[in-house]
Structure 1
Amino acid sequence: MSATTPTLPNSFWDSLATKEDERARIRWYMCVIINLSSLNYPDVIPQVYKHLQDHLLQDMTKAQRFNAIQIIREGLIKSTGISGAARTGNAMRTLSQCVPEEYREESSGRANETHEFAVERGRQFWTNIYARNPAFDPEASVRASPDYAFVVRDVLYARIFSYDGVIDPLTTGLAMVSALYGMDCPNQLQHHMKGFLFNGGTREELFGLRDLCLGTAKILGVQSRYGAWPIPSVESAQPVSKQ
């Protein structure tokens, strides 16, 4: 028996209206699609794509449309390291059915990189997220399993998370946090929110993303085990008044 696809209410799009520039709006759509993927609701993605088409893509040039869709695809690829190949694959194939063929990619940018180059970049990206976080134990994964630590640092961070051919590290941070909300993983969520702040993101962005992701789950009837975890503060982050 197939599951019924929920319909997103008109009020779902309200927070998008607060995004003043095109880049922020594209990031919003990216985060929603990643969150739907990690929540295992890929069948809702066509509703999001239609709204994207009707309210943003139709006013763009062909090159701008391709870039916007490429950003969303890249965000989904980044989320593979959080929510896994199965859920991401379902979301990517669903998105592909919505996207006109002229906006599909014809080759892989990652395939043109050497493993050594990717590993070096991945280790730097890993350091930028975790090095300033005193709550993170860098040897915990090694103690748990050296093979697991290798896969995370020299495969996921090298080949997936740190790739910067399409989106920048801050956009990658938003993608990872969106996926972690969907997967309901509070420990990793805290670390990646701190990494986002250490690298120049703001708490205001994280408050907005938390409201978006938890609001999406509520609409879909998904009950979180851990709920709304607090937004962390770090010394280099910009403070906001909301608690």
Structure 2
Amino acid sequence: MPSLLTPAILSSFRATPLLASSWYYVAAATFSVCNRPEEIPVIFKYAVEHDARRRLAAPQPTLEETLLNDSLTRPSSPTGSTRSTGSYGPEDESALVDCTDRDPADVAEIVRKTREALLKGCALAGLPKTINSMIQLRNATPHEFRNEVVVRPTLSSEDEQIRGTEFWNQVYGKVSRRVLSQMNTAYPDLAQYAVQHVYSPLLSFTSILSAKETSYVIIACLIPQDVNPQLKGHLKGGLNNGATKEEIMRVRELSIQICTLCGITWKEDVAKL
């Protein structure tokens, strides 16, 4: 399937200064929910090329250093050896994004934030879409950036639930108890699951994506699903998490732009602030 994304479209995604450091993971989360995971490597490549600084040229080794390195060089791997690819099938090296001239720290941040946005989208749009999107991102990610393990703090279940409840209350503000009561009335297990298994371990973890950035992702994931009641709450939740109205509206506009590219339609106008 050909990509929907042209350089002009990608340029328009990152054109607003309000989302200069956020556009790529907002876009990736939206495409994931729209079930177009194949667009995520295109976004990743463009973000690396335009948002990662160029690597400073390394100083050339002296003759003595060159001779020493040559003497210490180990024999290459035997002919016919292959890189282990786990359960993903044969490695397609041509799919890897070329990051050789880019600052590794910048590339690592782009990978890290995109992964986290897709992971948080799992709670909003389902595990299958997240799996497909993660695999697409992994296949485009150079090997040296693939295996980073995010060390999430080891909390007791009680402390984790406190963190999740605090995040819930921060998002919903004055209506937090009312929203929880509505969910509890619908089905008590629903309210318990939302706080204990979505907000506590996942959405309230803000070491990679801040509370504000998490709201960006939530909004981007809700818009394709045509769920205005929940979207209205999280548009206001973005304000409660520190975003400005202008930032939230730009996230909304970007997500709508992507949904339109993907052929998404809505029963009524998409909610706004």
TM-score by length of 2: 0.76
Matched, 1:48 2:90: no
Matched, 1:35 2:33: no
1:30 is displaced (CA, Å) by 0.4
1:206 is displaced (CA, Å) by 1.7
Query: Residues of 2 paired with 1:174 and 1:183: CA distance?
Result: 15
Structure 1 residues 73-111: Cα deviation after superposition (integer angstroms, max 9, x where no partner): 111111111111111111111111111121124434237
Query: Residues of 2 paired with 1:45 and 1:104: CA distance?
Result: 15
Q: Secondary structure at the match of 2:15?
A: helix
**Pair 136,189 (structure 1): closer, same or farther in 2 beyond 3 Å:** farther
Query: Residues of 2 paired with 1:58 and 1:201: CA distance?
Result: 26
Correspondence 1:37-76 to 2 at 5 A? 37-57=32-52, 59=54, 60-76=102-118
Q: Secondary structure at the match of 1:164?
A: coil
Q: Partner of 2:253 in structure 1?
A: 211
Aligned letter for 1:149? A
Match 2:6 to one of 6, 9, 15: 9
Q: Which deviates more from structure 2 when the two are superposed, residues 49-58 or residues 77-86? A: 49-58
Contact in 2 for aligned 1:133/1:194 (Cα 8 Å): no
Aligned letter for 1:169? A
Contact in 1 for aligned 2:204/2:211 (Cα 8 Å): yes
Query: Residues of 1 paired with 2:17 and 2:25: CA distance?
Result: 13
Cα RMSD between the aligned structures?
Answer: 2.0
Match 2:158 to one of 81, 104, 116: 116
Q: Point out where structure 2 has 5 or more consecutive residues left out of the alignment.
A: 55-101
Q: Number of residue pairs matched? A: 225
Correspondence 1:78-97 to 2 at 5 A? 78-97=120-139
Correspondence 1:53-202 to 2 at 5 A? 53-57=48-52, 59=54, 60-110=102-152, 112-133=154-175, 136-202=178-244
Matched, 1:226 2:223: no
**Pair 178,115 (structure 1): closer, same or farther in 2 beyond 3 Å:** same
Query: Residues of 2 paired with 1:15 and 1:36: CA distance?
Result: 13
Aligned letter for 2:50? H
Contact in 1 for aligned 2:32/2:129 (Cα 8 Å): yes
Q: Secondary structure at the match of 1:137?
A: helix
Q: Secondary structure at the match of 1:187?
A: helix
Correspondence 1:12-23 to 2 at 5 A? 12=9, 13-19=11-17
Q: Secondary structure at the match of 1:213?
A: helix
Aligned letter for 1:65? V
Aligned letter for 2:4? T
Aligned letter for 1:9? T
TM-score by length of 1: 0.85
Identity of aligned residues (%): 25
Higher-Rg member (1/2): 2
